[in-house]
Amino acid sequence: MKNKFSLFFFVIPLVALVFLIYPQTSLAAITSVTTGSATSTSKTGVQLKGTIDIAGASETYDRRGFNLGTTSAAGGNYNMGSSTESGGPWAGDGSFYHTTTTLPTKGEAYYFRAYAASSTVPQLTYGGTEGVFLTGIDDPASLARTVVTRTSIDLSWTKGTGAGNTYLRYSTSQYPTSITDGTQGCISSGTSCSVESLSCGTNYYFRAWSSTTDGGLSTTSDGYTQLTDYTSSCPGARCLSPEVLADSLVINQGAANTQTREVTLSLQANNATLMTICNDNRFIGCSLESYSTTKSWTLTEGEGEKTVYALFLSDCGANSERVSDTIVLQAPTAPVPTPTPTPTPESTPAPEVMPAPATTPTPAEKPIFQMTAVELQVKIAEILSQIKTLQAQLAGLKETVTFENNLKYGDQGDEVVKLQEALIKEGLLAQGLNTGWFGSLTKAAVIKFQEKYASEILAPSGLTKGTGLVASATRAKLNKLLGK
């Protein structure tokens, strides 16, 4: 009996102590926590929402937050731990939020659960349901054509970070507006695909988006990469030359000057699959490459006006007229140092500064009879050089051009260059188009020339419209104008 009484007197104080430390009213303070939604989701951030219900308005709690992880955790033990909101204690029911902007992975499903606790009841009360959200992903980039045939176009791109797949869509009328618009070209988890069953000789508009799915959620990139390109010409179709435009070649967005040799070329031509860029108007030593709308380029050395030339080729091998653009290469301007004024003591008046003369007269050249033998030799060499230059200029003035052969569309060579230079001089062909290839623009200029001098070229043959063929009557008029 004595032992029973001893145990009674030990247990009763212990129970009383527990009730003092953990009052019953605090144990029942937080009745439920609800896990809410994830809003304002970005590539590295999210705002999480939770709601707390308590037993009465007077009850308080001093911890609330969210447990977060990349895997589902029914018990609330997420692999990324918890984020506790400070500032309590709080009283009453209500919503609370937590924002994070340091999520490490794009395109990742993150799971979260709201919780709350009291300092007197440290055990966490978790939300009954689990939330999940998906971070954003990067856009794909650098969509480009690698191979083209009559019925297919092979494309490549740079995959967006966090993307599971790249959706490629196309249309023949305009760029698709979403991953459900237009026709599906491919859905690829890599960085390239081949779009098949296309029509020959047709222009296609391609656009690609990033997409990913995780945790039962899907997301698509906000932006895209795009490209327009032609399939090869149909069998039996006429071999068309690329069409050049007024701004088919522009240096540094049309700038007049540059202080560096490294420039950017903007290029455009319809129906072009290849191109060659050169600092030489004869394109000697310059190679063919795939057609592109931009290209980095290095100008030739030395200050002064620099010209860059371009030719475009279609898939059937026909080349365009030559195009060019110029820019002036200048030496970098050195900064002018600002002179530091020398302080003048107040007791000493500043000396008067006389203005410098406007110009410094050039000393008169020494008369020949006063020159030494060495100075006379230098002077004679200078005069001989001037004579040689004048002789070369005189020879150029006397040079004439004779057209002895008929010329037609598709011809090429030096005689075509001379024809084009004559047409440029007549104002019928644009400057820079003396490419040596008799293309559509040259033919149109010849027709204008024939109709300009119709009484001498067309009328004797009973014609009223130009033919574009440089035959005997046209050659005779050209030779007459050029001095033969």
Does the structure show a pLDDT above 90 at 435? no
What band does 10 get if pLDDT is binned at 50, 70 and 90? very low
Residue 130, pLDDT score: 86
Query: What pLDDT does residue 30 have?
Result: 67
Q: Would the pLDDT of 374 be above 80? A: no
Q: How buried is 350 (Cβ within 10 angstroms: 0-12 exposed, 13-18 middle, 19+ buried)? A: exposed
Distance CA 384, CA 435 (A): 36
**pLDDT-above-90 percentage for the chain:** 35
- Average pLDDT score over residue span 75-95: 74
Mean of the pLDDT values across residues 215-231? Answer: 88
Q: Is the pLDDT reported for residue 412 higher than 90?
A: no
Q: Evaluate if residue 81 carries a pLDDT over 60.
A: yes
For residues 155-175, average pLDDT: 94
Place of tokens 């971070």: 135
Is residue 95 predicted with pLDDT exceeding 60?
yes
Instruction: Indicate whether 358 pLDDT > 60.
Output: no
For position 11, what pLDDT does the model report?
42
Residue, of 290 and 90, whose pLDDT is higher: 290
pTM: 0.50
Tell whether the model's pLDDT for residue 344 goes beyond 60: no
Cβ–Cβ under 8 Å, residues 313 and 334 = no
**pLDDT above 80: residue 343:** no
Q: Is the pLDDT of residue 400 over 50?
A: yes
Task: Give the pair of three-digit tokens for residue 192.
Answer: 């390239």
Tally the residues of the chain. 484
Mean pLDDT in residue range 57-75: 79
Residue 143 has pLDDT above 70, yes or no: yes
Element at 156 (helix H, strand E): strand 153-158
Q: What is the pLDDT of residue 40?
A: 75
Highest averaged pLDDT of the listed ranges 48-57, 173-182, 229-238: 173-182
Average pLDDT over residues 367-388: 77
The helix/strand/coil state of 61 is strand
Considering 19-28, 50-59, 392-401, the range whose residues carry the highest mean pLDDT is 50-59
Highest mean pLDDT among 57-61, 72-76, 300-304, 462-466: 300-304
**Res 177 pLDDT > 90:** yes
Query: Quick one: pLDDT at residue 31?
Result: 67
Residue 220 is predicted with a pLDDT of 94
User: Is 212 in contact with 159 (CB distance < 8 Å)?
Assistant: no
Q: Are 182 and 191 in contact (CB under 8 A)?
A: no
pLDDT band at 9 (very low <50, low <70, confident <90, very high): very low
Identify whether the C-beta of residue 214 lies closer than 8 Å to the C-beta of residue 108: yes
pLDDT at 478 over 80: yes
State mean pLDDT over 216-230.
89
Q: What is the SS3 assignment for the chain?
A: CHHHHHHHHHHHHHHHHHHHHCCHHHHCCEEEEEEEEEECCCCCCEEEEEEEEECCCCCEECEEEEEEECCCCCCCCCCCCEEEECCCCEECCEEEEEEECCCCCCCCEEEEEEEEECCCCCCCEEECCCEEEECCCCCCEEEEEEEECCCCEEEEEECCCCCCEEEEEEECCCCCCCCCCCEEEEEECCCEEEECCCCCCCEEEEEEEEEEEECCEEEECCCCEEEEEECCCCCCCCCCCCEEEEEEEEEHHHCCEECCCEEEEEEEEECCCEEEEECCCCCCCCCCEECCCEEEEECCCCCEEEEEEEEEECCCCCECCCEEEEEEECCCCCCCCCCCCCCCCCCCCCCCCCCCCCCCCCCCCCCHHHCCHHHHHHHHHHHHHHHHHHHHHHHHHHCCCCCCCCECCCCECHHHHHHHHHHHHCCCCCCCCCCCECCHHHHHHHHHHHHHCHHHHCHHHCCCCCCCCECHHHHHHHHHHCCC
User: Of 21-35, 56-70, 292-306, where does the model show the most confidence?
Assistant: 292-306
User: Higher pLDDT residue, 32 or 459?
Assistant: 459
Instruction: Say which residue, 168 or 284, is predicted with more confidence.
Output: 168
